[in-house]
């Protein structure tokens, strides 16, 4: 439907945002539980740490609004923390996290202003009184409100009406709640009063205006706010941190400015200390460091701050004080971590670093460092007039890396292409900035780490793991079944074969497990072997000539299906004997069998599912009606396997068919009735279902042409493939080295695997880069890609990288203002290695590239790279531009042909009919090939702004500029002229676009809007049929632009700036979609509805969801999606459905 006159799209998130804007920590779900809540701009997520130092995501939710500020507070005498959020809804929202329900509960939501992000509407700054008595919410300019927090008679949280603390002509830079013990709550605000600047026409007042700290006191007795005091601070002051008060410290605030940290308080002289500086090459050491984020760690009779500079170095800040008198501020270099937007020091001994770009880190403290710096390298700095300590960064001494959360933020470019030698579709993304840059390959599926691979004496058919005791923490045996034999391996420091387990080794195994507390049971084709804890063995043999065909068991039950169609049910009695309880004869030839999980507090499973022919029956195992059929379901074909899965308070029965279709039915936990059947094709061959344990809960594996895993994640059922080769059988695996893994058999090998992270939909493979990647192209017919990288304030030399001091953490040597480091890299994507790498000299920066062919050189492909020397971004200029022409030599790489100088920045390139289209500033040019340089053939000077991208289809050229959306251009060969014949009516700061058809373009802009512009089909046909082109050339333009206008048929606000947009399908034969990637790392897709009935259904569903489940922070959903332009689908007033 992408090419039809009316377009209906459905939005789905393929991968949630990875970037973090703000992180706070506290005990949100229960006392003394350390949890982290992060804001991702338009969503909230809760993390906690497990016993092994890994971050576990507990809950994620979209808020359908923009989160501006985030803070926490705890009421006096309370033991749980609340979350308070400021957003663009014009409301302040207090949330409580309930872990049992895995959701945020809205406690209070108070309206104070208009919706939208406005500079005079509060929400941008938020701080709470350390004792949990009040909260201040502030706008960037003028307005501030203070709310009093209290309890009612039922001990429920209450919030007062807002108390005004406005001050006109005032810009706020930061706010913080001061620790004043139990005196009247006091807030410190870093402000600048510009009232005199507005009245001064000379500009002298602007140069001399001072920043101030204003103290606002809330009088709890009189219930109003007063300005208590005002203190002048450094003009470069930009951040405040509250110092513990009362019995924990002297109170007051730390004021961070360029190169300086000062302690300030009312009726106290300022005490300042210079920030130590990193020893760097050239003038970089002279630039004063700036604090970008920080955190306070407080214990009994001790506290310190960890403040991070703009190069990533952590500074430990402590105070020398006696009573409330501070005599000295001490600053010492602590360690270096990636530059962060927030850091959190957890009481459990971890440091969480929410990185500004790329992956986030969790560090474990090894020590708390030194309080003072070594002054042997100190020297006087002129701008401060004092002695400043200098230091060199070193490998980590006080912290060690415990875990890492992958983040794509920011994605600068993305393409959909074949990866891994054409074996599948994947997304290639350019991510990160500077030394933390990478190119990442994203494929559908969960990531797998291969822990070990061992050869087997034959091809195994099945595998299990067994614990010999109910009290055992890890598995004791791996049982591998072959045709006519069984192999038992013990799990310890080494995995080795054992023969004294008591299990029968001379026959294949159908099922094996623990029975009771410390016994083993093995089911084989000829019967059951029961191995008691004292190594006594009880064997039950199949009657007559019957054999066991299928088996399922729990710790107290065993069910057998015999070849004659009989079903036998055994239970464990109080003496530890396995006794036959019930028998059903003549049920039919059974294809599959499964017992339901045993509920907590019960001793036996309640239901059993049996597949006979094309019918699945649910039998009761209740003692009152044992083996009675309580439900049945007909199938289109015979079932091959069955499996139960409890998730989210419900019970599901999964049925695997021979055609590769997986059926999910909801089973009533009381009556056993089946309902809500859903189907999904997951493979090209029959499905084998196996039970697993993941994240401490029941899960299952579906084995087909791909291996899929179904599990419960955040109270929702997830089904995703593994990014791994297909396997024949799997089982859960637990050992000291791999607490939660999977053991699998494939071919003649036994493999121990570990799932990287649950909840992952797209598996990432990352390859590091040296500088910020600007663009890339795939070289057709090979596995090579060409990447251009460029960074300002960088040195164009080899970037050193060691294991002890990785450049992704410690950064690279800055080059200074106006200096560029840039490279052209050719990489083999399948092997993940760099084939060629060229550093650009003469302060050049690569800005664009494309693959092109030239008419005078048939049969050859060329890589064209646009570069600029001495480039200045604002105002945009350069000393000279260049076009590099490289010949592509297949899989061997590229070689230089020649270099062409031009008079501007070549910001966009595209191949066009054996020639090259180049956007040079506001000019669009055509270049032809030459022996020594490219030859300019045609030029158009009538584009209003900088050209950012060029696309070609047939005779039509689609040009996007930086602020006016699209221009449609046609080349008139007879006049050798490029003629603009259509453009857009609305200004759009387009960041990426893709062609949907000949007349339609999908695009995203820097304000987070997705839109589709279209030229009328009838008009387009008339223009193409004009043989002379006179109609395009001579008609007058409208609205100071082209004579014809494109219409916007889609408008939709995504809430996140997107820099990448592609069209395609993620799997062979799948429906096409429009895929987007945002600066926060979100991967989303716009999927076209195939029928009008589907669209109407989802439209109605959206309407009911708006009413029954409004956005968490109070933003109107329709208004949010229409933040810049009214949400629109072609000629329809009702909005599209976006989840």
The beta strands (E) that lie in 310-375 are given as 313-322, 325-336, 340-345, 350-355, 360-365
301: tokens are: 């009779």
Quickly count: other Cβ atoms within 10 Å of residue 746's Cβ: 18
**Distance, CA of 354 to CA of 523 (rounded, Å):** 51
Among 1053, 1049, 948, CA closest to 999:
1049
Q: Is residue 1138 predicted with pLDDT exceeding 50?
A: no
Closest-CA residue to 993 (of 1024, 947, 1035, 955):
947
- Please write the tens of the pLDDT for every residue from 518-565: 899 999 999 999 999 888 899 999 988 889 999 999 999 999 999 888
The predicted pLDDT at position 1036 comes to 53
Dist. CA 1130–CA 96, nearest whole Å: 41
Nearest residue to 1057 via CA among 1006, 988, 1129, 991: 1006
CA-nearest of 233, 196, 187 to 73 is 187
| C-alpha to C-alpha distance for 955 and 677, rounded to whole angstroms | 51
Distance CA 444, CA 1085 (A): 13
Taking the C-alpha atoms of residue 81 and residue 94, their distance in angstroms, rounded to an integer, is 11
Q: What are phi and psi of 671, to 5 degrees?
A: -95, -20
Give the residue among 1084, 1032, 1092, 1034 at the shortest CA–CA distance from 1059: 1084
| CA 685, 690, 696, 697 torsion-angle sign | positive
For β-strands 915-920 and 125-128, DSSP reports them as unpaired
* Rounded-to-integer distance, Cα 584 and Cα 569, Å: 9
pLDDT per position as a tens digit, 1068-1101: 667 889 999 999 999 999 988 888 888 888 889 8
Q: Per-residue pLDDT averaged across 970-982, rounded?
A: 90
Inform me whether the pLDDT recorded for 438 exceeds 90: yes
Q: Which residues contact 29 (CB under 8 A, 6 or more apart)?
A: 35, 58, 80, 97, 98, 99
Number of continuous H segments (helices) and E segments (strands) in the chain:
7, 92
Tokens 């006191």 appear where?
A: 217
Give backbone dihedrals phi and psi of 1124, rounded to 5 degrees, phi first.
Answer: -115, -35
d(CA 438, CA 436): 7
Q: Are strands 1044-1053 and 977-984 parallel, antiparallel or unpaired?
A: parallel
Phi, psi of 197 (to 5 degrees): -65, -40
| Mean predicted confidence (pLDDT) in 845-874 | 93
Give the integer Cα–Cα distance in Å for 913 and 285: 52
Residue 348 contacts residue 360 (beta carbons within 8 Å): no
Q: Is the pLDDT of residue 281 over 70?
A: no
Strand, helix or coil at 394?
coil
Hey, is 1084 helix, strand or coil?
strand
The set of residues, in sequence order, having a beta carbon less than 8 Å from that of 935 and lying 6+ positions away, is 927, 928, 929
Rounded to two decimals, the pTM is 0.91
- Please tell me the distance from the alpha carbon of residue 354 to that of residue 341, in angstroms, as a whole number: 6
- Whether the per-residue pLDDT at 1033 is higher than 70: the answer is no
Short-list 883, 887, 885, CA closest to 861: 887
- pLDDT at res. 796: 61
Residue 1 has pLDDT above 80, yes or no: no
Going from the C-alpha of 306 to that of each of 94, 245, 350, 353, the distances in angstroms are 28, 18, 13, 11
Q: Nearest CA to 22 among 352, 303, 257?
A: 352
User: Which residue, chain included where needed, has tokens 């995703």?
Assistant: 720
- Partners of residue 1046 on adjacent β-strands: 984
End-to-end CA distance of the chain: 20
Question: Span 493-512, mean pLDDT?
Answer: 90
Cβ(631)–Cβ(595) under 8 Å?
A: no
Q: Which of 94, 86, 93 lies closest to 122 in space, CA to CA?
A: 86
Answer yes or no: is pLDDT of 511 > 90. Answer: yes
Structure tokens at 429: 């993304």
- Predicted local distance difference test score (pLDDT) of residue 422: 53
Which one-letter DSSP state was computed for residue 601? Answer: T
pLDDT range class, residue 800, cuts 50, 70, 90? low
Q: Give percent of the chain with pLDDT exceeding 90.
A: 66
Provide the CB-side half-sphere exposure for 217 (13 A, CA): 13
Residues facing 543 on adjacent strands: none
- The one-character DSSP state at 279 is -
Q: In angstroms, rounded to a whole number, what is the distance separating the alpha carbons of residues 941 and 919?
A: 10
Burial string for 74-105 (b: 16+ CB within 10 Å, else e) reads bbeeeebbbbbbbbbbbbbbbbbbeeeebbbe
Q: Give 281 or 1078, the one with higher predicted confidence.
A: 1078
As beta bridge partners, residue 672 has: none
Q: Name the 3-class secondary structure at 731.
A: strand
Residue 83 is encoded by which pair of tokens?
């979350």
Residues 807-839: tens digit of each pLDDT:
778 777 777 888 899 999 999 988 889 999 999
Is residue 166 reached through a cis peptide bond, with omega within 30 degrees of 0 on the bond before it?
no
Asked if the model's pLDDT at residue 776 lies above 60, the reply is yes
- Three-state DSSP class for residue 1117: helix
Angstrom distance (rounded) from CA 568 to CA 560 = 5
Q: Are 251 and 186 in contact (CB under 8 A)?
A: no
Span 54-78, mean pLDDT? Answer: 93
**Average pLDDT of span 844-853:** 95
Mean predicted lDDT score pLDDT of the chain: 90
DSSP letters spanning 408-477:
-PSEEEEEEEEETTTTEEEEEEEE-SGGG-EEEEEEESB-EEEEEEEE-SS---EEEEE-SSTT-SS--E
pLDDT tens-digit readout, 1003-1019: 999 999 999 999 998 88
Q: Is 588 in contact with 579 (CB distance < 8 Å)? A: no
Q: Is the peptide bond before 410 cis (omega within 30 degrees of 0)?
A: yes
Nearest to 357 by CA among 440, 297, 255: 440
Is the model's pLDDT at 1113 over the cut of 90? Answer: yes
Question: What's the chain's length in residues?
Answer: 1139
In whole angstroms, what is the distance from residue 1090 CA to residue 1065 CA?
Answer: 15
Say whether pLDDT at 1129 is over 80.
no
Residue 2 has pLDDT above 50, yes or no: no
Q: Is the pLDDT of residue 1116 over 60?
A: yes
> From the CB of residue 944, how many other CB atoms can be counted at a distance below 10 Å?
14
Report the alpha-carbon angle 351-355-358, nearest 5: 130
Could you write out the DSSP letters of every residue in 644-694?
EEEETTEEEEEEEETTSEEEEEEE-TTT--EEEEEEEE--SS--EEEEEEE
For the record, the structure tokens of 632 come out as 């049945």
pLDDT tops 80 at residue 17: yes
Local confidence band at 621 (pLDDT 50, 70, 90 cut-offs): very high
Helix (H, G, I), strand (E, B) or coil at 286: helix
- Residue 1005 near residue 988, CB atoms below 8 Å: yes
Average pLDDT value for residue range 62-78: 93
**Residue by residue, what is the 3-state secondary structure of 1025-1048?**
HCCCCHHHHHCCCCCCCCCEEEEE
Three-state secondary-structure class, residue 486: strand
Is 60 exceeded by the pLDDT of residue 1134? no
Helix (H) or strand (E) holding 1106: helix 1092-1108
pLDDT score recorded for residue 1037: 60
pLDDT score recorded for residue 3 = 38
Q: What is the mean pLDDT of residues 853-880?
A: 93
The average pLDDT across 877-893 equals 94
Q: In 10 A of CB 698, how many CB atoms?
A: 18
């Amino acid at each position: 439907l992408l090419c039809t006159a009316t377009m209906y799209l459905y939005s789905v998130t393929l991968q949630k945002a990875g970037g973090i804007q703000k992180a706070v920590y506290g005990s949100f779900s229960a006392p003394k539980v350390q949890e982290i809540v992060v804001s991702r701009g338009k969503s909230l997520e809760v993390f906690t740490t497990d016993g092994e130092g890994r971050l576990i995501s507990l809950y994620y939710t979209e808020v359908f609004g923009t989160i501006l500020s985030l803070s926490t507070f705890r009421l006096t005498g309370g033991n749980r923390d609340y979350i308070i959020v400021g957003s663009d809804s014009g409301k302040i929202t207090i949330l409580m996290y309930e872990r049992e329900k895995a959701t945020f509960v809205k406690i209070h939501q108070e309206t104070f202003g208009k919706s939208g992000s406005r500079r005079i509407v509060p929400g941008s700054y938020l701080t709470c009184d350390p004792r949990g008595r009040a909260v201040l919410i502030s706008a960037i300019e003028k307005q501030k409100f203070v709310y009093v927090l209290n309890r009612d008679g039922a001990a429920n949280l209450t919030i007062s009406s807002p108390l005004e603390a406005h001050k006109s002509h005032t810009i706020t830079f930061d706010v913080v709640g001061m620790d004043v013990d139990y005196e009247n709550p006091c807030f410190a605000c870093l402000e600048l009063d510009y009232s005199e600047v507005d009245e001064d026409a000379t500009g002298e007042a602007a140069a001399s205006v001072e920043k101030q700290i204003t103290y606002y006191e809330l009088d709890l007795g009189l219930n109003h706010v007063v300005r208590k005091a005002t203190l002048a601070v450094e003009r470069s002051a930009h951040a405040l941190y509250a110092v513990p008060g009362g019995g924990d410290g002297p109170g007051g605030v730390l004021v961070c400015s360029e190169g300086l940290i000062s302690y300030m308080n009312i009726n106290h002289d300022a005490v300042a200390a210079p920030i130590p500086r990193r020893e760097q090459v050239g003038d970089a050491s002279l630039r004063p460091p700036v604090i970008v984020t920080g955190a306070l760690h407080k214990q009994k009779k001790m506290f310190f701050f960890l403040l991070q500079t703009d190069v990533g170095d952590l500074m430990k800040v402590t105070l020398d004080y006696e009573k409330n008198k501070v005599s000295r501020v001490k600053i010492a270099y602590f360690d270096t971590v990636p530059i962060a937007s927030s850091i959190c020091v957890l009481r459990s001994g971890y440091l969480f670093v929410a990185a500004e770009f790329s992956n986030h880190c969790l560090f474990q403290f090894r020590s708390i460092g030194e309080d003072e710096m070594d002054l042997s390298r100190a020297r006087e700095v002129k701008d401060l007039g004092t002695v400043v300590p200098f230091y060199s960064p070193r490998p980590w001494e006080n912290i060690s890396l415990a875990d890492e959360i992958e983040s794509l933020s920011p994605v600068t470019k993305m393409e959909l292409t074949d990866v891994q030698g054409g074996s599948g579709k994947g997304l290639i993304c350019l991510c990160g900035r500077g030394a933390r840059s990478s190119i990442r390959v994203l494929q559908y599926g969960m990531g797998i780490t291969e822990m070990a691979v061992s050869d087997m004496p034959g091809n195994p058919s099945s595998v299990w793991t067994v614990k010999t005791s109910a009290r055992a923490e890890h598995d004791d045996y791996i049982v591998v079944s072959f045709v006519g034999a069984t192999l038992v391996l013990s799990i310890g420091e080494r995995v080795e074969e054992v023969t004294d387990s008591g299990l029968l080794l001379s026959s294949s195994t159908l099922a094996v497990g623990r029975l009771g507390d410390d016994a083993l049971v093995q089911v084989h084709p000829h019967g059951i072997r029961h191995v008691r804890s004292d190594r006594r063995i009880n064997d039950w043999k199949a009657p007559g000539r019957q054999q066991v065909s299928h088996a399922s068991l729990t710790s107290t039950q065993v069910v057998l299906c015999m070849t004659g169609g009989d079903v036998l049910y055994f239970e464990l009695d109080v003496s530890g004997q396995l006794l036959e309880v019930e028998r059903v004869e003549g049920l039919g030839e059974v294809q599959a069998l499964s017992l339901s999980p045993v509920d907590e507090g019960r001793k036996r499973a309640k239901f059993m599912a049996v597949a006979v022919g094309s019918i699945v029956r649910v039998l009761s195992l209740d003692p009152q009606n044992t083996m009675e059929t309580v439900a049945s379901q007909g199938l289109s074909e015979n079932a091959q396997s069955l499996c139960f899965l409890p998730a989210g308070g419900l019970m599901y029965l999964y049925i695997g068919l021979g055609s590769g279709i997986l059926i999910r039915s909801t089973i009533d936990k009381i009556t056993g009735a089946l309902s809500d059947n859903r189907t999904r094709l997951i493979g090209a061959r029959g499905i084998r279902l196996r039970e697993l344990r993941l994240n401490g809960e029941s899960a299952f594996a579906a084995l087909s042409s791909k291996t899929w895993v179904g599990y419960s994640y955040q109270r929702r059922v997830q089904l995703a493939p593994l990014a791994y080769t297909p396997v024949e059988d799997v089982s859960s695996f637990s050992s000291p080295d791999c607490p939660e893994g999977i053991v699998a058999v494939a071919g003649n090998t036994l493999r121990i695997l570990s799932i990287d992270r649950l909840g992952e939909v797209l598996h990432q493979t990352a390859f590091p880069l040296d500088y910020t990647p600007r663009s890339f192209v795939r070289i057709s017919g090979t596995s090579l890609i060409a990447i251009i990288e460029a960074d300002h304030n960088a040195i164009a030399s080899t970037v050193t990288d060691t294991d002890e001091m990785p450049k992704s953490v410690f950064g690279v040597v800055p080059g200074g203002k106006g200096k560029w480091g840039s490279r052209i890299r050719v990489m083999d994507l399948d092997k993940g290695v760099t084939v060629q790498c060229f550093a650009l000299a003469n302060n050049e920066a690569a800005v664009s590239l494309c693959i092109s062919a030239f008419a005078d050189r048939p049969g050859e492909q060329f890589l064209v790279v646009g570069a600029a020397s001495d480039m200045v971004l604002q105002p945009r200029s350069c000393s000279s531009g260049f076009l590099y022409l490289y010949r592509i030599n297949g899989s061997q790489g590229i070689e230089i042909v020649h270099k062409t100088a031009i008079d501007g920045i070549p910001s966009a390139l595209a191949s066009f009919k054996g020639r090259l289209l180049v956007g040079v500033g506001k000019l669009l040019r055509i270049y032809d090939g030459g022996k020594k340089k490219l030859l300019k053939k045609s030029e158009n000077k009538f584009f209003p702004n900088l050209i950012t991208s060029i696309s070609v289809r047939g005779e039509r050229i689609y040009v996007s500029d930086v602020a006016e959306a699209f221009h449609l251009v046609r080349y008139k060969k007879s006049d050798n002229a490029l003629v603009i014949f259509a453009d857009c009516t609305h200004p759009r700061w387009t960041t990426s676009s893709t062609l949907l058809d000949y007349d339609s373009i999908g695009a995203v802009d820097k304000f987070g809007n997705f839109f589709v512009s279209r030229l009328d089909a009838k008009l387009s046909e008339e223009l193409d049929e004009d043989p002379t082109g006179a109609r395009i050339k001579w008609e007058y333009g409208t609205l100071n632009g082209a004579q014809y206008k494109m219409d916007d048929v889609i408008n939709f606000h995504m809430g996140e700036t997107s820099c990448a947009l592609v069209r395609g399908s993620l799997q062979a034969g799948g429906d096409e979609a429009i895929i987007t990637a945002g600066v926060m790392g979100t991967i989303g897709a716009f999927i076209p509805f195939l029928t009008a009935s589907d669209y109407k259904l989802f439209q109605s569903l959206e309407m009911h969801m708006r009413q029954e489940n409004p956005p968490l922070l109070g933003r109107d959903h329709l208004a949010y999606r229409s933040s810049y332009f009214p949400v629109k689908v072609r000629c329809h007033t009702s909005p599209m459905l976006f989840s």
